[in-house]
């Protein structure tokens, strides 16, 4: 991003925050499901908002998304996005659900929303604890649609979004199976400066 000089070690800090959140989410999911769930964060990076859909396979890629508004000292928007195929694998591996070809049942949608809710809460708590600023999630919404449509709806729902997104890749592991997801935090324009100021990153 133009406004800040982000060093590699500072991105490593953001990745570590993601790993702490993933660990907390894995613990919560393990308790919820009564089985061992592991999660890891292979990468964390900043990207321009307009590149999010590209990173998901294009604006027309159908995805499952849990999204919510972040309120508090660093307001913004949060999305947990996973491909349709990965959603099915996640439900199958974690919950033993055999997903039919006709789409998701109400129970399956509820399960996806709860997983996204646990993830969002765990990541926000980790970030809040680390930067010592108050962050609170609103009640999340779940949508299955094209990636471009979901982001457009998010903008309509929550207003103008910032132009930078923090992307934290997330991998769920249960046994030898892995399922990948993507977690996006899109701070409001004035919030990105607060986050990096809290991390000790000076404006360029």
* In the predicted structure, residue 2 carries a pLDDT above the cut 50: no
Give percent of the chain with pLDDT exceeding 70: 89
Scanning the structure block, which residue is given the tokens 């399956």? Answer: 108
| pTM for this entry | 0.83
Mean pLDDT score, 106-119: 85
In terms of Cβ atoms closer than 10 Å to its own Cβ (0-12, 13-18, 19+), residue 74 is buried
pLDDT-derived band of residue 63, with 50, 70 and 90 as boundaries?
Answer: very high
- Condensed to tens digits (0 to 9), the pLDDT of residues 27-46 reads 888 887 788 888 888 888 88
pLDDT-derived band of residue 145, with 50, 70 and 90 as boundaries?
Answer: very high
Q: What is the CATH number of domain 8-198?
A: 3.40.1550.10
* More confident of the two residues 8 and 166: 166
Structure tokens at 115: 């997983």
- Condensed to tens digits (0 to 9), the pLDDT of residues 173-201 reads 877 778 888 888 888 878 877 887 887 76
Domain ranges of the chain: 8-198
């Amino acid at each position: 991003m133009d406004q800040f000089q982000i060093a590699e070690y500072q991105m490593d800090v953001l990745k570590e925050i993601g790993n702490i959140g993933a660990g907390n989410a894995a613990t919560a999911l393990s308790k919820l499901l009564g089985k061992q769930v592991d999660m890891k964060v292979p990468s964390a990076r900043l990207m321009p908002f307009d590149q999010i859909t590209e990173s998901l396979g294009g604006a027309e890629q159908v995805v499952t998304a849990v999204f919510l508004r972040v309120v508090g000292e660093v307001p913004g928007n949060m999305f947990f996005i996973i491909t349709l195929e990965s959603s099915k694998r996640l439900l199958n591996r974690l919950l033993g659900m055999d997903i039919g070809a006709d789409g998701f049942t109400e129970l399956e949608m509820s399960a996806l929303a709860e997983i996204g809710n646990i993830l969002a809460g765990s990541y926000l708590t980790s970030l809040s604890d680390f930067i010592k600023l108050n962050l609170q999630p609103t009640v999340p919404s779940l949508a299955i649609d094209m990636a471009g449509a979901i982001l457009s709806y998010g903008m309509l729902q929550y207003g103008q979004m910032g132009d930078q997104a923090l992307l934290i890749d997330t991998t769920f592991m249960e046994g030898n199976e892995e399922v990948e997801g993507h977690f996006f935090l899109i701070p409001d324009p004035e919030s990105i400066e607060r986050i990096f100021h809290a991390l000790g990153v000076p404006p360029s």
